[in-house]
Structure formats: structure tokens, C-alpha cells
Structure 1
């Protein structure tokens, strides 16, 4: 039976493909207050603004490609059972070839019904007011906004509890509940923390290995080591 690798990825992985990170140091996201474009209240107040905001984010996806970190993670699947749990809403892991990806915060290339969250539709073009689902309700971005439940969290916790190895890449581990996942990993399992500015103490977890590198530099190194172990 192949060992389990769980990979938790954040904005730092996508940023190296040219996608802008979630928000700037001043709290703005592409010039907008997060409360305007990433909350149910913001959507209710100005749905056109919110739809246009995500239309622009969606368009950006077609101008970028998976980077070396995305590609390296795919190689692990030849030797391990790999699940990627990502905070990112892009499809770069899938485009690189990863086959088991859990999106905690939703996906830009999907939309869903405003009245039934289980009605989810693939969507690659602009989303406008008047675009409705089969039940007649307005479609909205398939994004988990602040104040909303994270529907894939329980599944992510279950997967993390099975990890023989845990990799954390390109995330500050400051956004909850995603940041809590590391606490569900088995205490004996090695944890690789890959970030150019790691904000974690070496003594924070047993078997913690800190790699102070960008994703495109650090991930291939760790992947090579894990593949050597798996063969």
C-alpha cells in the first residue's frame, strides 16, 4: 500500500505563475476592500461589482501556466497516494496534471446557484446578472466568501489525518480554518514547510523541516527527496 502525502498550498504557489496574491499588505484586493467583493453582504449590496471582479480574476487564468512547483507535485503520484488541499481558487494544479485536488475556498472556473449550493456548473466566460440556473435563480461565483461555511473542510481534515507526509507550500498559515489543518496531521508524520519567509518556529511541530525557499525552488527539492524514499 502506497504511503499518503497531503499537500497544503496557498497563494504563494499561484503567485509564481503570475497570479496576484489574495490581498495586498494594505488589505485591498485588486483595489477593492475585501468586504466589498468577498462577502455575502458585498454581493447583496452590489452584485454587478462582485460579478465583474470575479470575471476579471477568471480571465487572468487563461494568461498563466502551471509553474515548476505545480509540475513537481504531479511527479509524486507515481510513488505515493497524493491529495492536494489548496486555498487557491485557480485550476493550475489540475492543469499541471494533479488528479486529486480539494479546493477549500472554491473555484473560479465554476459557478453555483444562489439558492442551492449543490447546483454547481463549469463556467469559463463572464458571469452576468440574468444568468440563471435550471431552477431559475441567479448564478454566483463558486467561491467561499468570508462569513460562509467551508464545505470541504471536514473532508480536508479526514485526509490530513491520514498523512504519512505533510507538505505546506506558499501559505502564511494565517487564514483560518485552513491554517488549522496542520494540527490534524499525525504527530509522527514529517512536515515540510516551504516558504521564502517562513513564519513558523522550528520547534512548533515534531518532525518539522523548514525550507526557506520559493515554491519553484523548494518544492522540486522536497519532491526529489520523497521520490527517493518511495522507491
Structure 2
């Protein structure tokens, strides 16, 4: 059993915080930015996800996001997402996700903080207008009522996280008994500091990722497997309590 080494400690857990990244969504067919699937029409996706790329060619970036939305809307939560949602039956669960796809909510999770925004939300580049995307835009790039360009309400490389969301994430990280870091390489700041906050509270740290990450040596348990294969097994420990 992959959790045997910390089975006794897990029994006393009251609050779990999950920190999730692109790896868990990749198992639902959503490509990651990094790696061989991170290219779109010969463009580097990591270079498209910047404010400079948007202002250089907003039409191109909107086409990319329209295509991403279609891919995301057709995707379904996998066994990893479902397991996290099911854990709410047994323990307090909060998800701090770097993903913008809403798959945790689709799976039924009720406490989800989207650190990097959401693919279904838009905002004006100038005024305070924000809304949800209800349909594809016929005009690209779409314009706000004030006449300025709308943009996806997501955090691009080089931009700050929404401070209200980030401060709430830190509070949850400081309060948890167990933090599970699933499907993230922990290279993107500041989300990669969340395990440090949890460790300050003497929380258990479990990493679920097929490859080593920047913080693997700091973990109480590092499981080299996918979220879909691993997280359903975590539920069994709480069913036994």
C-alpha cells in the first residue's frame, strides 16, 4: 500500500489542502504548457500566455483561448478529481489550484480557490468590467462596452496573483494537517511556496507526481504515480476511520 509509511498519521487529519497543477488535468486530456504538447500551431504556449503577447497580437491570443476553451469544455473530471471531491465526505478539503479549467468544480468539490483565474471569465484591460463567457465571440478580439479590449481573466506569466485569493490560500495552507501536492512541478511562483506554509504548521506533505520536483526531498511521502491512479487509494484510509 503506497500510504503505509504514514497511515497512522493520516488517521488524525482533520483538514486537507490540495495544491493541484496541470498534471492532474492532463489526465483529462488537457495539454500542459510544458513538454511536447505545449505547442499550438507552432507557437510556444508559454510565450502566448503573457501580457506582451496579448498586446502584440490580441487576435492570436484570443484564438488560442477560444480553442483552449473548446478543449476544456469537452473534458471530464478524471478519477483524481473525483477522489478529491469524495474526500469531502470524511474531512475538510480545500483545493488551491493553478488550473483554470474548472474540473474540480465539475467533479463536485465545493472549496476551490483558483490561483490563476478561470477560462470562463473575462475582464476589461482598462475599466473594472468582469463577466463570465457565455458563448464564443464573433469578433476577435472582443471589445468591452467602454470600447477597450477584453481579455481572459487569467493570470499570465509575469503577472501577480489576485491578492485576495492568494491571502486566503496562505491562510488555508497555514491551517491544514495534510497537504497533498498533485500534478504540479512546483516551479511556478508563488504557488510553489504553499508547501512551506503548510510545513510551518507541522503538516504532513505528500507529493503525487510521476517525476521528481523541486521540493521532492522536503516531502514526508513522494509517490511517483499519477493523480488518477493514486488519489482514490487515499480515500480508503479515511473510510477506515
Which TM bucket (shorter chain)?
Answer: 0.7 to 0.9
Structure-1-length-normalised TM-score: 0.88
Distance 1:36 1:194, change over 3 A: closer
Aligned pair 1:120/2:101, yes or no?
no
Distance 1:176 1:201, change over 3 A: closer
Asked if structure 2 preserves the Cα contact closer than 8 Å seen for 1:36 and 1:50, the reply is: no
Q: Paired residue for 2:204, among 182, 186, 190?
A: 190
Q: What does residue 4 of structure 2 align with?
A: none
Q: What does residue 10 of structure 1 align with?
A: 21
Shift in Å, 1:114: 1.3
Q: How does 1:195-214 map to 2 (within 5 A)?
A: 195-199=209-213, 203-205=217-219, 208-214=220-226
Deviates more, 1:187-196 or 1:159-168: 187-196
Asked if structure 2 preserves the Cα contact closer than 8 Å seen for 1:76 and 1:227, the reply is: no
* RMSD (CA atoms): 2.2
Q: Paired residue for 2:78, among 40, 49, 67?
A: 67
Distance in 2 of aligned mates of 1:147 and 1:25: 23
Distance in 1 of aligned mates of 2:32 and 2:45: 13
Unaligned runs of 5+ in 2: 1-12
Unaligned runs of 5+ in 1: none
Structure-2-length-normalised TM-score: 0.85
Q: How does 1:63-142 map to 2 (within 5 A)?
A: 63-116=74-127, 119-127=129-137, 128-129=139-140, 131-142=142-153
Q: What does residue 66 of structure 2 align with?
A: 55
Distance in 1 of aligned mates of 2:22 and 2:141: 32
Distance in 2 of aligned mates of 1:63 and 1:77: 25
* SS, match of residue 156 in structure 1: helix
Aligned length: 224
Distance 1:84 1:201, change over 3 A: closer
Q: What does residue 162 of structure 1 align with?
A: 175
Asked if structure 1 preserves the Cα contact closer than 8 Å seen for 2:187 and 2:214, the reply is: no
Shift in Å, 1:88: 0.7
Distance in 2 of aligned mates of 1:100 and 1:57: 24
Distance in 1 of aligned mates of 2:81 and 2:204: 21
Q: Paired residue for 1:172, among 160, 172, 185?
A: 185
Q: Deviations over 1:162-221 (max 9, x none)?
A: 11111110111111111111100044211111111133666524xx11121111111111
Question: 4+ runs of 1 displaced by more than 6 Å?
Answer: none
Q: Deviations over 1:40-66 (max 9, x none)?
A: 111111000011010000010122110
Distance in 1 of aligned mates of 2:213 and 2:181: 12
Distance in 1 of aligned mates of 2:53 and 2:119: 18
Distance 1:105 1:188, change over 3 A: same
